[in-house]
Amino acid sequence: MNSNFLEFINKDIENKKEYISVMPTKTKTNRKKVNQFIDETIDKYNNYRSSTRNYLLAKAKSFDIVEPDKDNHLNEKLENLEYVKFLLNPTNTYVEKMGFDSLLYQISNYYTFNFKSLNDIINSFLDKFELAGIVLTADDFTYTCYVHEYMEVFLEARRKNSGDYDRVAEVFEQIYWINPEIIEHVELSFRKLIRVHEKKLNAYINRLQKEAMEKNGIANYAICLEKIHSLYIDIQFANRETIGEILTKAKSGEIDIEQYLEESKVRKQAFETLVSPDSDIDDACASLEKLLANVEEYRNYNEFYPIFKDFRDEYSKLLDLKEEYKGLKNIEIEIAKKEAELEKINKKIFGTHIGNFYFSKDLKSLKSESVMLAKEIYELFKKYDVEYFKDRVIKSISNTITVADVLNLYYSYDYFKKLVIQKVYGLDNYDAIIQYSDNFDLFAMNATNIIISGVPIFQDVDVPRIIVNRYRLNNINITVDDLNPDLLNLLTNKINLVLRVTKIEKSSIHMDQIWFVAQVERIINSESKAETM
């Protein structure tokens, strides 16, 4: 009966089960005979399984899709343009372009987050100065005598370049018990040096800007943005899911291919909702791809909504500011005054040339005074940071400022972005903050964001309703409920299902072939599991 082996096997199995069920089992000989029959049948069926398995594997392999590797040159181009955009960003200053703000965030949160190496942070600061041709020496670190002592030893260890910072650790230990705020004062030192060397650092940034613009053929920031926008669209197109990728996802179980079969209720419902029977399928798919991007943008908007809400709550009162706000200027004056006082005390201390642990009573009290003053200045800098960002906000604030503007503002100021993330999400774990920060940056960098450019930060906007109404015009019948943040995955799965089914139906591979390949993968996986047990 070669015409249908499945029928033969089904009949054979039925017969053998029947036979086994009636075999006598009373005596030992009976039972031996049963087991013998079962063993012989097992041997035979193992052969059947092996042959069938080989055939399945060969058949599945025949449906393999070979696709060329995706070209990375667009991503490389984007990386270059993002670098130019970063350098030309008109929103921030040389401090952010040098990356000093990220380092200031790390050093100011050193105690909260237990970084494994303060040395790495300090070395990073020094590296950045050196990039700009500024080689700092111990004489640059005179914020307090303790900062001077610590940095003298640090710079010596750095100069030796042996990786041995044991002496630095010893001196840190000695200083710490007299001056527990030593790290904060090292931070103050770097803050001052960043201000002092503004001209040289700006010159370095200007040089980098010029080089980057020439290398990438960019005349100005606006042109850079245009090119990035265009590249994003090209990359989105190039990264569209291929049939090979769909096949891989079906094999891995990432896609439940049963839902893609013609008789599937899930497939029917997705098409009913998303594709009008009158519409051209290509047009429908083009709209669905836009909808997918909009849903992703809306997902990100929701995720970072606490940041936008915080901005609104913190800064809406600045809209009513009538006179010139002098908060930043006032705190700068206060800090300058205190630093001048500290400078006077330091002149007396550094003038004595006496080591740390052998000093007169006057010297001891001068050192204590310098530490107390540095502490006060550190507290002033906390207020300074608040005023600095407030000053930035005031420069850009209006009734019509959008979510996109706020996104760009925080993206431009890494230090304040991380502070607000820490605050609104209640995070005290550095890795978690970095995760949020990186995701925030990806959202901010997406040149195809479109919804948030029209959402004013100081007004209530029903974003789901805006999306729903837009796609109603294309006969795509999603509802506001579909855009519930907890149900967005369901919606994107539905959209992806329609897009994938359409793609498969236009390709050379059939849906049942993809189903078959997924089943063979299931079989191989369950065999591997059985073998390891």
Total residues at interface with other proteins (CB under 8 A): 41
**Does 25 sit near other proteins (CB under 8 A)?**
yes
d(CA 291, CA 496): 11
- Should residue 61 be labelled a site residue for other proteins when binding is judged by CB under 8 A? no
Query: By C-beta, is 9 or 318 nearer to other proteins?
Result: 9
Sole binder of other proteins in the list 2, 62, 508, 532 (CB under 8 A) = 2
Give the nearest distance from C-beta 508 to other proteins in angstroms: 16
Residue 114: phi and psi, rounded to 5, are: 55, 55
- 5 sits near other proteins (criterion: CB under 8 A): yes
Figure out which of the listed residues 35, 112, 368, 484 binds other proteins, where binding follows CB under 8 A.
35
Among 8-16, 262-270, 333-341, 393-401, which window interacts with other proteins (CB under 8 A)?
Answer: 8-16
Instruction: State the Cα–Cα distance between residues 6 and 13, nearest whole angstrom.
Output: 10
Q: How far is the CB of 56 from other proteins (least distance, A)?
A: 6
Q: What is the total residue count of the chain?
A: 533
Instruction: Report whether 242 contacts 250 (CB < 8 A).
Output: no
Give the shortest CB-45-to-other proteins separation in angstroms. 5
Of 133 and 253, which CB lies nearer to other proteins in the complex structure? 253
| C-alpha angle 385-390-393 in degrees, rounded to nearest 5 | 135
Residue 31 binds other proteins, judged by CB under 8 A: yes
CB 96, CB 242: distance < 8 Å: no
Candidates 29-37, 226-234, 238-246, 404-412; binding stretch for other proteins (CB under 8 A) = 29-37
Smallest gap from residue 242 Cβ to other proteins (A): 22
40 vs 343 by CB, closer to other proteins: 40
Instruction: Note whether 49 binds other proteins by CB under 8 A.
Output: yes
- Residue 522 CB, nearest approach to other proteins (Å): 9
| One of 15, 19, 24, 46 touching other proteins (CB under 8 A) | 46
Residues 146 and 182: beta-carbon distance below 8 Å: yes
One of 11, 15, 19, 40 touching other proteins (CB under 8 A): 40
Smallest separation, CB 55 to other proteins (Å): 5
Contacts of 348 (CB under 8 A, 6+ apart): 366
Query: 427 in helix, strand or coil?
Result: coil
Residues in a beta bridge with 147: none
Return the bridge partners of 456, or none.
Answer: 402
11 near other proteins, judged by CB under 8 A? no
Residues 493-522 that bind other proteins (CB under 8 A): 512-513, 515-516, 519-520
Kindly indicate which of the ranges 28-36, 243-251, 314-322, 476-484 contains the residues binding other proteins, using the contact rule CB under 8 A.
Answer: 28-36
Contact between 53 and other proteins (CB under 8 A)?
yes
Residue 22 interacting with other proteins (CB under 8 A): no
> For residues 261 and 518, what is the distance between their CA atoms, to the nearest angstrom?
13
Residue 63 or 305 with smaller CB distance to other proteins: 63
In the complex with other proteins, the residue whose CB is nearer, 57 or 233, is 57
Q: Would you count residue 4 as binding other proteins (CB under 8 A)?
A: yes
Burial of residue 95 (number of CB atoms within 10 Å: 0-12, 13-18, 19+): buried
478 Cβ contact partners less than 8 Å away, ≥ 6 residues apart: 273, 274, 291, 467, 468, 471, 491
Q: State whether residue 154 is helix, strand or coil.
A: helix
Write down the least CB distance from residue 28 to other proteins, Å. 7
Choice from 15, 19, 38, 428 touching other proteins (CB under 8 A): 38
Min. distance of Cβ 509 from other proteins in angstroms?
12
Cα–Cα distance for residue pair 275/475, rounded to 1 Å = 7
The dihedral formed by the CA atoms of 350, 353, 356 and 360, expressed in degrees to the nearest 10: -90
Q: Does 13 bind other proteins (CB under 8 A)?
A: yes
Q: Which of 11, 19, 36, 160 binds other proteins (CB under 8 A)?
A: 36
In the chain, the amino acid numbered 113 is: F
| Burial of 191 (C-beta count, 10 Å sphere; 0-12/13-18/19+) | buried
Compare residues 497 and 518 and give the one whose CB is closer to other proteins. 518
CB of 89 to other proteins, least distance (A): 56
Given the rule CB under 8 A, which of 44-52, 77-85, 205-213, 420-428 is the region that contacts other proteins? 44-52
Binding mask 272-301 for other proteins (x = CB under 8 A): ------------------------------
Nearer CB in complex with other proteins: 16/290: 16
What does the alpha-carbon distance between residue 139 and residue 143 come to, in Å, rounded to a whole number?
A: 10
The first and second tokens of residue 477, run together, are 């019948």
DSSP state of 458: T
Phi, psi dihedrals of residue 508, rounded to the nearest 5°: -85, -10
- Please name which of 158, 180, 178, 179 lies closest in space to residue 168, comparing C-alpha atoms: 158
CB-nearer residue toward other proteins: 1 or 473: 1
User: Out of 11, 15, 24, 55, which residue is the one contacting other proteins (CB under 8 A)?
Assistant: 55
Report the 10 Å Cβ neighbour count for 458.
Answer: 15
What are the C-alpha distances in Å from 195 to residues 186, 190, 329, 335?
A: 14, 9, 15, 13
Vertex 445: Cα angle to 443 and 451 (nearest 5): 60
17 near other proteins, rule: CB under 8 A: yes
Q: Single out the residue of 428, 342, 413, 84 nearest to residue 225, CA to CA.
A: 84
The helix/strand count (H/E) of the chain reads as: 24, 0
Nearer to other proteins, 496 or 513 (CB): 513
- Report the interface residues with other proteins, using CB under 8 A: 2-6, 8-10, 13, 16-17, 20, 25, 28, 31, 34-36, 38-42, 44-46, 48-49, 51-53, 55-56, 59, 512-513, 515-516, 519-520, 523
